[in-house]
């Protein structure tokens, strides 16, 4: 294992110390626990619905990279690929609440689900109303008709961005939750892995892939995909990814979509543009317009090589909130 770290069991704590040292003008810990982070509010901000997320480390900028104006208000950070505790989620909830209630917006993983439900009970006991929306955009992780079983991956970015815009516009908790759920329902993601990743405290790859192999549909924790094949070309890979997405979600001619091409940690941006080139050819050939294309690292898996494609089917309401300004230490405002 070659990694730039000190002690493996200090990996997450020292990462969080570094983030707060670098971005202390934008982020702060909620109390004494570094795993509980909230954004620093600006003078003159009006009260609004709070938005809180949480999840395991190892996926930067997911989850804590999306805390900032126009995005999220707080995040509970777990160890690598592990859920934060309910107590940590509750600590963030109290700090993020401004008296308008709190939206819990997080990935559909069993540990996160259980702990956010427990945190919700703690919050309700203190008079803080919470509503849950779970990202489940990974179209390869369960069959059509059983979307409730699907994992949340890079496409949750769209829900973060749109929910953040709705909250900043002054909408109430139920409306922010409705719009976030609509974004979730209209987003599909499929990824492909070319190499494994290493959890620092484990010290060895969590799975193996041959030098000439790739796995379609693999999850961001190394969850088994839907097929393992010989390495394909970029165009062949995109054709396979888009084939799954378009089979799962109808995108009518004349509609508008937002596209996110996400690197999993060790994929050069040049390769992401090669992938998007083919995505664009397919979408344009369908008579569909692209809006707000995003390329880069949004949900990684340590040093895994590979990428994912997320498609959000827009309507006027979603586009309006997607277009609103936002920023975080990882995504500075233009």
Which of 23, 132, 221, 247 is an active site residue? Answer: 221
User: Is residue 59 flagged as an active site residue?
Assistant: yes
Separation CA 301–CA 191 (nearest Å): 11
Give the position of tokens 């009970």. Answer: 121
Give the position of tokens 């999840």. Answer: 55
Q: Could you tell me which residues come within 8 angstroms of residue 102 by beta carbon, excluding any fewer than 6 positions away?
A: 49, 50, 51, 52, 93, 96, 123, 128, 129, 130, 131, 173
Separation CA 53–CA 160 (nearest Å): 9
Separation CA 5–CA 15 (nearest Å): 9
User: Is residue 221 flagged as an active site residue?
Assistant: yes
Can you read off the two tokens belonging to residue 156? 């949750």
> Is the sign of the CA dihedral 98, 101, 106, 111 positive or negative?
positive
Given strand 36-39, what is the order of strands in its sheet?
Answer: 27-29, 36-39, 74-80, 50-57, 102-107, 130-135
Which of 59, 132, 247, 291 is an active site residue? Answer: 59
Max CA pair span of the chain: 56
Q: Could you tell me which residues come within 8 angstroms of residue 307 by beta carbon, excluding any fewer than 6 positions away?
A: 191, 192, 261, 262, 263, 264, 267, 271, 272, 275
- Dihedrals phi, psi of 173, to nearest 5 degrees: -60, -45
Write the burial class of residue 255 (CB in 10 Å: 0-12 exposed, 13-18 middle, 19+ buried).
Answer: middle
Of 144, 59, 159, 151, residue with least CA distance to 112: 151
Separation CA 16–CA 11 (nearest Å): 9
- Dihedrals phi, psi of 215, to nearest 5 degrees: -125, 120
Angle between helices 156-168 and 173-185 (to 10 degrees): 150
Which residues have a catalytic role annotated? 59, 221
């Amino acid at each position: 294992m070659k990694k730039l770290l000190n002690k493996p069991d200090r990996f997450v704590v020292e990462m969080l110390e570094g983030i707060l040292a670098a971005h202390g003008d934008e982020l702060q810990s909620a109390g004494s626990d570094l795993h509980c982070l909230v954004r620093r509010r600006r003078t003159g901000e009006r009260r609004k619905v709070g938005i809180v997320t949480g999840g395991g480390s190892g996926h930067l900028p997911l989850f804590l990279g999306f805390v900032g104006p126009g995005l999220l208000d707080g995040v509970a950070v777990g160890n690598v690929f592990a859920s934060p505790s309910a107590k940590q989620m509750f600590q963030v909830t109290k700090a993020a609440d401004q008296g308008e209630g709190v939206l819990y917006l997080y990935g559909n993983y069993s540990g996160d689900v259980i702990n956010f439900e427990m945190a919700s009970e703690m919050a309700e006991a203190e008079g803080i109303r919470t509503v849950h929306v779970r990202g489940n955009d990974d179209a390869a992780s369960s069959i059509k008709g059983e979307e409730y079983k699907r994992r949340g991956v890079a496409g949750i970015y769209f829900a973060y961005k749109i929910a953040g815009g709705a909250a900043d516009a002054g909408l109430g908790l139920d409306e922010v939750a409705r719009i976030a759920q609509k974004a979730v329902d209209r987003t599909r993601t499929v990824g492909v892995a070319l190499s494994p990743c290493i959890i620092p405290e484990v010290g060895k790859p969590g799975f193996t892939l041959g030098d000439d192999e790739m796995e379609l549909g693999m999850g961001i924790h190394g969850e088994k995909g839907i097929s393992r094949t010989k390495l394909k070309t970029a165009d062949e890979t995109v054709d396979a990814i888009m084939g799954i997405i378009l089979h799962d979600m109808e995108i009518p001619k004349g509609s508008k979509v937002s596209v996110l091409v996400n690197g999993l940690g060790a994929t050069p941006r040049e390769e992401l543009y090669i992938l998007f080139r083919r995505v664009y050819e397919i979408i344009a050939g369908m008579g569909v317009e692209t809006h707000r294309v995003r390329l880069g690292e949004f949900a990684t898996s340590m040093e895994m090589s590979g990428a994912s494609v997320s498609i959000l089917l827009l309507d006027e309401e979603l586009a309006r909130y997607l277009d609103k300004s936002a920023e975080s230490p990882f995504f500075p405002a233009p």
